[in-house]
Structure 1
Amino acid sequence: MINTPLVSVLMTVYNREEFISQAIDSVLKSTYQNWELILVDDGSTDKSLRIIRDYETHDNRIKVFQNKTNLGDYPNRNQAAAYAKGKYLKYVDADDMIYPYGLEQLVFYMEQFPEAGFGLCSLEQDLEKIFPFMLTPEQIYKRHYFEGKLVFHKAPLSSIIRKDVFKAVGGFANVRHFGDSDLWHRLSQRYPLVLMPHGIAWYRKTDGQEASVRRKNPLNRLKTIHSAYKHTVSDNSPLSRKEQEIMKVKFLKLEASAIIFGYRKFGWKKGQEMKKFSGLTYIDIIKNKLG
């Protein structure tokens, strides 16, 4: 018999009146029925709150909350998780959608690997294994950093997380633009990961999204690299000391490349800002870029 645990679908809301109905409707159309939808409005000034309140009156599985003050992206994701009662947390942003069979697939895959802490979908096809399959912490880090098969770049929409492990690692850090990458690194230090295929969730691209804002400032790229370094080269890292030494060199090259990209793409002022943040000298930057 297939297990049907409760899934807490978490939707953070901030001025998404244009798309919010489509996002909610995608959850309502789910073939998997054991879910609750938690919507947390972060001080919207448009009609978003009015729209989600209306949905709440028509389905008792939908619960709406409103923050007293604006928390911002990742803190509001933590707030939504605090209201959750499910075994699993599934983020569906207010301008994205999940396919009708999405929840059913996610639960089916996770329940096959009860020791796993979280799962990530929408990954490139693996040429050696068919999805789903599980990776240990060491395998996760090696896959991303040594095999060139990216894992830590996925957005919250691509994830399903056991609520107990989300709580155990403290949820998302209170940072902007790279909280998802930071969380995947921390979860992967302690828990196995299930990798899953495409076709479960649908991602929309708009100018108002955090991802769009992030790309406009190359300093965010540098901050993401620093965060990854902190988790990869540390006592908590599942990599060996030898592997961590290799990663030190790789991170320096990544940092140098990011700074040079900043100079070329965004000009001298932004490049100087990145150089100052990194602490590298001009010689360090050129040496690591060419080395």
Structure 2
Amino acid sequence: MDKAVAILMSTFNGEKYLSSQIDSIIKQTYKNWHLYIRDDGSSDGTRDIIQQYSNKYSNITFFNKNNMENKGVVKSFMELLEKTDADYYMFSDQDDVWLPKKVELSINKIQNDNVDTPLCVFSELKVVDANLNPIRLMNNKNIWFDFIHFMFGNCVTGCTILINRSLKEKLQINKTNLSNIYMHDWWIALYASAFGKLLYIKHPTLLYRQHSSNVEGSQRNTPLHLIKRSLNIKNEEQGMLSIFNMDYEFNRMFGKKLSGINKNYIDSYTNLPKNSSFLYNLNLIKKYPPKRAHLKGDILFSYLLLFHSRSLLSGNK
């Protein structure tokens, strides 16, 4: 119980479920935590709820009470991470429900490892509907730990993770172009897979609430979602470009520390904006095939590289 945990929550128009989520954090069996809530410019009653809790509890802070600014989810969470201090850090959505031992289980998973090693714990989660009725497990064992897979896809859901101070410091947030970061959890997992360690808790630690505003997040690898994706090429092109932008930023920040096959992969793919052509991309796929969550994802990604690569020309160079 002596290790301090900073729980970082970014909110935006979340009044409907926010109290339920905060209450589930208050009920955690592990007690040495501090909840920092940054609101990203809500126009509903979210800020009033945050203020009520921060007035009542000394370990809940309205992080930007006097500085309201809409930055988007990545910059909002990364600002919280950069400007808070603790032994461990966790990320919280505004509409889930944490199971009582979530923090305790995450601490137990990480505590026997070397504190100087960048560490990231993540877990399974249970997808539920708006009324918390169970739907299914999120990952269903579809997880990975290697850097190359994280170059193309993410299996680490931000609201499940805990990282140590070493990982936070090595991210060098103040030197990072956050506009190139697809999602903060993906960025963290990418670094941990390259230079640290990822630890997985195979049973759910929270209820991942699905409602009209966020239902897409839980469907990322379902058959129906894959069909929708394959029919929406423009969105897939934009997603591919966003992935390459993030890989570019990672290579810019940390590429000199990489070696071997990891270095070859990221150098080859981050050179795409200046080299992209049918033949170059075909040779790239043959030598360094994309590695996604499943074969269908690999095929779709390869297809986009070969026949819809024009969007790459607008990427980082």
Whether TM-score is above 0.5 comes out as yes
Residues 160-199 of structure 1 mapped to structure 2, 5 A cutoff? 160-171=162-173, 173-175=178-180, 177-199=182-204
Letter in 1 for 2:20: Q
SS of the equivalent of 1:84 reads: coil
**How far apart, CA to CA, are the structure 1 residues paired with 2:260 and 2:247?**
12
Q: 1:121 maps to what in 2?
A: 123
**How far apart, CA to CA, are the structure 2 residues paired with 1:11 and 1:242?**
34
* Residues 235 and 257 (structure 1), Cα distance of their counterparts in 2 relative to 1, 3 Å cut: farther
Q: 1:130 maps to what in 2?
A: none
Q: 1:251 maps to what in 2?
A: 290
**How far apart, CA to CA, are the structure 1 residues paired with 2:51 and 2:96?**
19
SS of the equivalent of 1:277 reads: helix
Q: Does the CA-based 8 Å contact 1:225-1:251 persist in structure 2?
A: no
Q: 2:74 maps to what in 1?
A: 74
**How far apart, CA to CA, are the structure 1 residues paired with 2:263 and 2:19?**
51
Residues 80-229 of structure 1 mapped to structure 2, 5 A cutoff? 80-114=80-114, 115-122=117-124, 124-125=140-141, 140-141=146-147, 144=149, 152-171=154-173, 173-175=178-180, 177-209=182-214, 217-227=235-245
**How far apart, CA to CA, are the structure 2 residues paired with 1:252 and 1:38?**
36
**How far apart, CA to CA, are the structure 2 residues paired with 1:47 and 1:238?**
50
**How far apart, CA to CA, are the structure 2 residues paired with 1:77 and 1:211?**
20
SS of the equivalent of 1:17 reads: coil
**How far apart, CA to CA, are the structure 2 residues paired with 1:276 and 1:252?**
21
Q: 2:17 maps to what in 1?
A: 19
Q: Which of structure 1's runs of 4+ aligned residues deviate more than 4 A?
A: 123-126, 227-235, 245-248, 252-256, 259-262
Q: Return the TM-score normalized by structure 2.
A: 0.66
Letter in 2 for 1:168: K
Is 1:240 the counterpart of 2:233 in the alignment?
A: no
Q: Does the CA-based 8 Å contact 2:181-2:246 persist in structure 1?
A: no
Letter in 2 for 1:12: S
Q: Return the TM-score normalized by structure 1.
A: 0.72
SS of the equivalent of 2:202 reads: coil
SS of the equivalent of 2:71 reads: coil
Letter in 2 for 1:120: F
Q: Does the CA-based 8 Å contact 2:146-2:193 persist in structure 1?
A: yes
1:163 to partner: Cα distance: 3.0
1:235 to partner: Cα distance: 4.7
1:256 to partner: Cα distance: 6.7
Q: 1:286 maps to what in 2?
A: none
* Residues 20 and 54 (structure 1), Cα distance of their counterparts in 2 relative to 1, 3 Å cut: same
1:236 to partner: Cα distance: 3.8
* Residues 218 and 116 (structure 1), Cα distance of their counterparts in 2 relative to 1, 3 Å cut: same
Letter in 1 for 2:147: Y
SS of the equivalent of 1:250 reads: coil
**How far apart, CA to CA, are the structure 1 residues paired with 2:14 and 2:247?**
34
1:183 to partner: Cα distance: 2.9
Residue in structure 1 matching 2:310, options 266, 276, 279 = 276
Task: State how many pairs are aligned.
Answer: 253
Letter in 2 for 1:46: D
* Gap regions ≥5 residues in structure 1: 127-134, 263-270, 280-291
Q: 2:34 maps to what in 1?
A: 36
